[in-house]
Amino acid sequence: MRNKVVTILVILVVILVPLNIKADSKAKNIKELNAELEELKRQKNINVQNKNATRSSINQKKQAIYNAYNEKQQAENDINAATNKIAECEASIEKTKGETAEILKFNELTSNENIYLEYLMAAESIADMSMRSKAISLITSYNQDQLQTLNDLIIENQRLKEELREKQNQLDVAINNYSNAIVALDNYMDELEDVGDDINEQIKNQEALIKYYKSICTSDTQLLSDCVKVLASSTLIRPLEKGVVTSPFGMRVNPLTGKTSSFHYGIDLSTTSMGVKVYSAANGMVAAVTLKSSCGGNIVYIHHNVNGVAYTTQYAHLLSVNVKVGDTVTNQSVIGYVGGAGSTLKKNGGWDTCSTGVHLHYSISKGYYLGGGANGYSSFSKFKANMIDPGKYFPARGTWFYRRY
């Protein structure tokens, strides 16, 4: 047991050396951070243009869906009209058939009884006789023409119904395609990062970091690694004294969207209640603080030097924050408190839309998010791309831990 305690103490020892990661030709300084800030602003303008174009496309597709539904309704009305016309034609056919049958029957009867001859002889003139002889055949012929016309009309209306049904099917496909396109565009517009800063927050954080560096550097060209003096560490330890991993790093079913292709860029650590202390995972410097982000709530980013390697840790869904940009912290510094539920949630009048309950979202990325040395970068996408699985510092999912190491 004594050897185990000694081992733990060795792991937790604080190395009292300046943060001095060797700079290379890409070493960062305030001038370069300002250039990155301008690039972020340029990206913001592009994003605004893309959003406007996407919003316009969404509105166009919504209008197309509205028009398609109207066309469907008109087609349904036309189908009903054609159906009614067919029914009218069928009724007329039955009536005409009956009339023709009666005429033919009369013709047959009068012929059999030789009354037809008397009918002809009773004619007052040859013209009258001719007209009498043709009367029945003309009526019969007329009715046959009528039957043919009505049958043709039925066929035409049946064809019209089939065309309208096909049109409705095509409109259904179009509506479905438009709806899917709108979903994709909405996701593009409002895609929920598991936890992250939008371009506006990145700009604010970059400006805050530059302001801090200006207060400690002697010039805009001085290497940031020469400006910052932070105690290094030998390891990262857990940010909570007690908790359980509820969602690991990697692919998962997103609890907000239900999508199985969602990638989780960190781990979720659940605790017994809101307000539990959150510690820095190692000695370092607070690089950014985002307050009331729509996805992640209150977020803290800390730069670390762990055995000469640059890391940035991220702590999200905080109930409140205890630190500010430029603060020097140790692994015993309380940087904030666990949130993720209650009054922090958007549905309860708060700000966070990306949480389903009490937890801390914890991420580790290699390099310095928002610059700060040769290993620094400002792009949030690069920050995500360099993330590593924090799981090795924690027990398996569902297993509670009761210490920070």
Dump pLDDT digits (tens) for 372-396.
667 788 888 889 999 999 999 999 9
Task: Quickly tell me which residue has 């709108």 as its tokens.
Answer: 182
Least confident of 84-88, 301-305, 327-331: 84-88
Residue 37 is assigned to a structural domain of this protein: no
pLDDT at 240 over 80: yes
**What contacts 373, CB < 8 A, 6 or more positions away?**
19, 21, 23, 27, 28, 223, 224, 225, 228, 310
Residue 272 shares a structural domain with residue 364: yes
**Dihedral class, residue 326 (left if φ above 0, else alpha if ψ from -120 to 50, else beta):** left
pLDDT band at 28 (very low <50, low <70, confident <90, very high): confident
Query: What CATH number is attached to the domain comprising 206?
Result: 2.70.70.10
Same domain, 213 and 92: no
Instruction: Quote the crossing angle between the two packed helices 126-190 and 30-112, to the nearest 10°.
Output: 160
One domain, residues 144 and 237: no
Residues 350 and 325 both lie in one domain: yes
Cα–Cα–Cα angle for 47, 52, 58, nearest 5°? 120
The DSSP symbol for 156 reads H
- Which of 133, 130, 82 is CA-nearest to residue 110? 133
Is residue 49 situated within a structural domain? no
Mean pLDDT of the 396-405 span: 95
Question: What ranges in 24-125 are assigned the alpha helix state H?
Answer: 30-112, 115-121
Range 246-259 burial, b when 16+ CB lie within 10 A, else e: bbbbeebebbeeee
CA distance 232 to 84: 86
Average pLDDT over residues 219-237: 86
Task: Report the pLDDT value the prediction gives residue 189, as an integer from 0 to 100.
Answer: 63
Decide if 33 is inside a domain: no
* Boundary residue ending a domain (163, 188, 213): 188
Domain-terminating residue out of 166, 188, 210: 188
In-domain check, residue 45: no
Q: What is the 3-state secondary structure (H, E, C) of 194-221?
A: CCCCCHHHHHHHHHHHHHHHHHHCCCCC
**Is 386 in the same domain as 250?**
yes
Provide the number of structural domains found in the chain: 2
Please state which of the ranges 44-48, 136-140, 207-211, 286-290 shows the lowest mean pLDDT.
136-140
- The answer to whether residues 314 and 241 belong to one domain is yes
Please indicate, yes or no, whether residues 176 and 213 belong to a single structural domain of this protein: no
How high is the pLDDT of residue 281?
98
In a domain? residue 142? yes
d(CA 193, CA 142): 77
Residue 170 tokens, joined: 């095509």
Contact at 8 Å (CB) between 286 and 300? yes
Q: Domain limits at 258?
A: 2-28+194-401
Beta bridge partners of 336: 278, 321
Assess whether 179 and 258 both reside in one domain: no
CA atoms of 48 and 274, how far apart (whole Å)? 36
Neighbour count for residue 58 (Cβ, 10 Å)? 19
The verdict on residue 43 lying in a domain is no
* Crossing angle of the two packed helices 199-216 and 30-112, in degrees rounded to 10: 180
Contact (Cβ atoms closer than 8 angstroms) between residue 322 and residue 403: no
263: pLDDT strictly greater than 50: yes
7-25: average pLDDT: 35
Q: What type of residue is 355?
A: S
Asked if 166 and 225 sit in the same domain, the reply is: no
Kindly state the helix (H) or strand (E) to which residue 312 belongs, with its residue range: strand 309-321
pLDDT at 67: 92
Q: Could you tell me if 150 and 240 lie in one domain? A: no
Nearest to 329 by CA among 362, 281, 283: 283
Q: What is the pLDDT of residue 330?
A: 96
Domain boundary among 188, 216, 245: 188
Tokens at 126, concatenated? 């040859």
Residues 6+ apart with CB under 8 A from 21: 225, 305, 308, 310, 373, 374, 375
Tokens matching residue 336: 């904030």
Percent of the chain clearing pLDDT 90 (strictly above) = 38
Residues 99 and 6 in one domain: no
Higher-confidence position of 403 and 228: 403
Q: Which has more confidence, 258 or 70?
A: 70
On whether residue 148 sits in a domain, the answer given is yes
- Average pLDDT over the chain reads 81
> 251 and 387: one domain?
yes
CB distance 185 to 51 below 8 Å: no
Q: Are strands 328-329 and 368-369 parallel, antiparallel or unpaired?
A: unpaired
Q: What band does 95 get if pLDDT is binned at 50, 70 and 90?
A: confident
**Domain-embedded: residue 317:** yes
Q: What is the reported pTM?
A: 0.66
- Give yes or no for residue 132 having a pLDDT over 90: no
